[in-house]
Every structure is written in C-alpha cells, then in structure tokens.
Structure 1
Amino acid sequence: MILVDKSNFQNIPFLHLVKEENIDKPLPTCFFIHGFTSAKEHNLHYAYLLAEKGFRVILPDCLEHGERSSGKSEYQLGEVFWKIVLNTIHELSILKGHFEEKGLILSNGIGVAGTSMGGIVTLGALTQYQWISSAVSLMGNPTYVKFAEAQLSQVESLGYELPFSEEEIDQMMKELARYDLSLQPEKLEGRPLMFWHGKRDKVVPFHLTREFYESILPYYESNEDHLLFIEDDKADHKVSRDGVLRLVEWFSKHLSA
C-alpha cells in the first residue's frame, strides 16, 4: 500500500509518499516540484508511480502556491516568479536535511524533478547542490538570465510598465546568474540528467532548452547514457503520459539503491 502523509516542516507544507513497508527505511528519494500557479497535489500521479517503484517521494508547496497562497493574481505572482524559484531551491536543502536527520534518505540516491517552474527550479538546484544524484526537467529552462530577459521583453511588448527599476533588474540578473546552469555547465559533473519538452511550448521556450542540451553533449561523451533529451513534436505546455513514464523509468535506472 502507498501511504500519503501530509506534513509541514519550517512552514513548508509537503506530501510524503512511500510504500507502507518502507516507511522507516532509508530509501532513494525524489523531490518533485510543481509548476507556476499549480500545487503539490497536482503531481500526485508522478509521486504514486515513483513510490510504487520503491522511492520515497516529497512534494512541497512552493512559496505563494497551494497551502501557502496569499491570494495573489497570476500577474502578481509573475512579478515574484524568480523570488519563488530561488526560495524553492533554498527550501530543497531544508527538506533534504529534515529527512536526512531522520535517517530516511540514501545519500547517494537523491533525485530532483519538476514541471515547468519546477523544472526551472531543478536545473538551478544543480548549480548549488552536489548531493543531487540525478535530475529530470519537464518543460524547464536552465538559462535563467536569457529567460528572465525574454520575460521582461514580453511584458514591455504587451504595453505594461515594468514593475522594477533598471538598478533592480541589473541586481536581479546578477543574482540569477549564480543559479544559471548554462553559465556553469561544469557543475553538472556528469550527473544523470533528463529533459522532456514539447516542441509547441509557448510558455517555456523549447529552443533555449534544446540549445543548452546540445551545448553540454561534450561533457557527457564518455557517459552518454547519463544525458537524455526527449522532444515531443505534438506537445505544447503539458507533459504527455509517455513523458511521465519516462521520468519514472529514468529514476528507476539512475537512482536505484
């Protein structure tokens, strides 16, 4: 039986899924991050399939999402998008420490994955944490600076006034550069990394992610099975069932105890 436990640690609400017989055992563990305007419960199908394979799975609510929502509109959330992303990266470490203290995580078996904003979080987290053993980005983007610049350009093209001063934008770009995997690909250190992206995605640009994948191929020349890019010709900004199953397959291959 798969147990679903709703819990909270340091004001981070999360769901914890695990097979009943594994509840107290150290296990390979997956942290799964939801997308923009979504919530932890919306990704239970990923967590269930992973838990069935013997993983411990943690689904947190990001800042301003799910149980942590303060009622902001989508536009208002957009204004703090990158604050949410960086905060979630920080909170990953807090949650990992929490489960580590309880002796429930295998230190060489930690996976991080997410959809859209969660994929963006995943790719940024790889620049900060060597303890991530394997990662999956579903519709994510590693090029923080380029993507943020594109977002600002889009706001301006729609006739809106930017809610930031030039100085604030400059400061934000410097901060984002610290988490931008495309600016420091050597931090991957050959770790298993899978991308899934729909070619018709109009929310998170497909081409930026694909270009990044192609740029890191030389880093994986001696370990080609550690890098995979799955492009779906028909998909827009929604993960197909095949994408879900490929994620489970990826972690089963690269995170097994």
Structure 2
Amino acid sequence: MIVVEKSNIEDIPYLHLVKEEEKSQALPICFFIHGFTSAKEHNLHYAYYLAEKGFRVVLPDCLEHGERATGKSEEELGSVFWKIVLNSIHELSILKGHFEKKGLLMENGVGVAGTSMGGIVTLGALTQYDWISSAVSLMGNPSYVKFAKAQLAHLKSAGYQLPFSEEEVKAILNELSHYDLSLQPEKLKGRPLMFWHGKRDKVVPFHLTEEFYKSILPAYEGNEENILFVADDKADHKVSRDGVIKLVEWFEKHLSA
C-alpha cells in the first residue's frame, strides 16, 4: 500500500508518498516541483506511479502557491515568478537535508523533476547541486536569461507597465545568469537528463529547450543513454499520458538502486 503523508519542514508544506512497507528504509528519492499557479496536490498521479516503482516521492508547495498562497492575482504572481523559481531551488537543499538526516535517502539516488515552472526549477537546480543524480524537465526551460528577456519584451509589447527599473532588470538578469544552465552546461557533468516538450507550447518556448538539447549532445557522446529529448508534435502546454509514463521509465532506468 502507498501512503500519502502531509507534512512541513521549515515552513515548506509537502506531500510524501512511499510504499508503507518501505517507509523507514533508505530509498531513491524524487522531488517533484509543480507548475506556475498550480500546487503539490495537482501532481499526485506522477508521485503515485513513482512510489509504485519503489521511489520515495516528495511534492513541495512553492512560495506563493498551494498552502503558501497569499491571495496574489496571476499578474502579481508573474511579477515575482523568478523569485519563486530561485526560492524553490534553494528549498530543494532544505528538503534533501531533512530526509538525509533521517537516514531515508539512498546515496547517489536523488532525482528532481517538474512541470513548466517546476521544469525550470529542475534545470536551474542542476547548476547548484552535484547531488542530483538524475533529472526530468517537462515543458521546462534552461535558458533563464533569454526566457526572462522574452517575458519582459512580451509584457512591454502588451503595454504592461513593468514594476522594475532598468537597473533592477539588469540586476535580476545578472542573478539569473548564475542559475542559467545554458550558460554553464559543463555543470551537467554527463548526468542523466530527460526533456519532454510539446511543439505547440505557447507558454514555455519549445525552440529554446530544443536548441539547448542540441547544443549539449556532443558532451554526451559515448554516453547517449543519459540524454533524451521527447518532442510531442500534438501537445501544447500540457503533459500527455505518454510523457508521464516516460518520466517514470526514465527514473526507473537512471535512479533505481
């Protein structure tokens, strides 16, 4: 039987799924990060499939989402999008440390995945943490600076008054560059990485993700089984059932003990 526990660590609400009989064992663990305006409960199907395969799965609520929502509108949330992303990256370390101290984390067995904003968090986390053993980005984007510039350009063209000065924008872009995987692909170090992206995605640009994937292929020469890009011709900004299954298969192959 799979148990679902609701808990908190340092003000981070999360759901924890694991097979009841393996609850106190050290297991490979997967942290799954939800998308923008979503919440941890919306990804329970991923967690269930992963827990069935013997993984410990942790679904946190990001800042300003789920139990941490403060009533901000989608527009207001958009203005702090990158703050939420970077905060989520930092909180991954807190969550990992919590399970490590309890002896529930298997060495070299940490996976990180997420949808949309969660995929963006996943790719940024790879620049910060060597302890991530395998990762899956569903509709994510590694090119933080390019994506942020595109977001700003879109807002300006729509006549939206930016809440940042030019100097503040420069400071934000400079900070994002430290988490931008496209600017430091060497930090991947050949780790297993899977991308899933719909070609019709109008929210997170497909071409930026594909562009990055193609740029890192030479680094995986001789180690091609560790890199995968799944492009869905028909999908927009929604993961297909096939995408869900492929994520589970990826972690089965690259994260199991």
TM-score when normalising by structure 2 = 1.00
Distance 1:107 1:144 in 2: 30
Partner of 2:122: helix, strand, or coil?
Answer: helix
Alpha-carbon offset, residue 91 of structure 1 = 0.1
Q: 1:51-99: per-residue Cα shift (whole Å, max 9, x none)?
A: 0000000000000000000000000000000000000000000000000
Q: Which runs of 4+ in 1 moved over 6 A?
A: none
Q: How does 1:1-257 map to 2 (within 5 A)?
A: 1-257=1-257
> For residues 13 and 140 of structure 1, what CA distance do their matches in structure 2 show?
23
Provide the rounded CA distance (Å) in 2 between the counterparts of 1:161 and 1:41. 34
Letter in 1 for 2:131: W
Kindly provide the amino acid, as one letter, of the partner of residue 171 in structure 2.
Q
The offset of 1:161, in angstroms, is 1.2
Q: Which amino acid aligns with 1:195?
A: F
Letter in structure 2 aligned against 1:9: I
Amino acid at match of 1:23: K
Identity within the alignment, %: 79
| Other structure's SS at 1:136 match | strand
Other structure's SS at 1:230 match: strand
Distance across 2 between alignment mates of 1:238 and 1:153: 24
Give the CA deviation at 1:24: 0.2
What are the Cα deviations for residues 83-128 of structure 1, in whole angstroms up to 9, with x where unaligned? 0000000000000000000000012010000000000000000000
Q: 1:181 is aligned with what amino acid?
A: L
Count of equivalent residues: 257
Please list the CA deviations of residues 227-251 of structure 1 after superposition, one character each: whole Å capped at 9, or x if unmatched.
0000000000000000000000000
For the aligned residue pairs, the C-alpha RMSD in angstroms reads: 0.3
Structure 1 residues 2-41: Cα deviation after superposition (integer angstroms, max 9, x where no partner): 0000000000000000000000000000000000000000
* TM-score between the two structures when normalised by the length of structure 1: 1.00
